[in-house]
Amino acid sequence: MEKVFFAIILLMFFLSACYNDNEEDVYEKFNTELPCDTIDVNYSENIKSIFEKECVSCHGASHPTCKLDNYINARNYALQVNTNLYTVVSDNDHKGRFLSPCELKQIKLWIQYGAQ
């Protein structure tokens, strides 16, 4: 009986040690060594893909106030005087969504330079 119990414990130990993720895969999004384009940030080349990947599932055409589903809607919202778009995303935990430092920097620059 002792041998069976020991075998079960040993088996459980080995099975729990088979975790397959590695640090590069898990933290790739937050790798600050990747090049970050902050020279010519614009909607079509930088912001659109961020919004489509992280925001549009909730902030699409049917959202009552913050629509980020296309350039016109996103620009109009970003340029509103009382908008909190950058403040919300810079907290970096809006509804379980996390943006990389580069994505945050690009959104901030895009807004600062007139959301072009």
Q: Which of 46, 49, 58 is nearest to 106 (CA)?
A: 46
Q: Is the predicted pLDDT of residue 20 greater than 60, yes or no?
A: no
The average confidence (pLDDT) of the chain is 80
Q: Which residue has the higher pLDDT, 114 or 19?
A: 114
55-89 pLDDT tens trace: 999 999 898 888 999 999 999 988 886 777 877 77
**To which residue do tokens 């993720």 refer?**
21
* Predicted TM-score (pTM) of this structure: 0.67
pLDDT digits (tens, 9 = 90+) for 96-114: 888 899 999 999 999 988 9
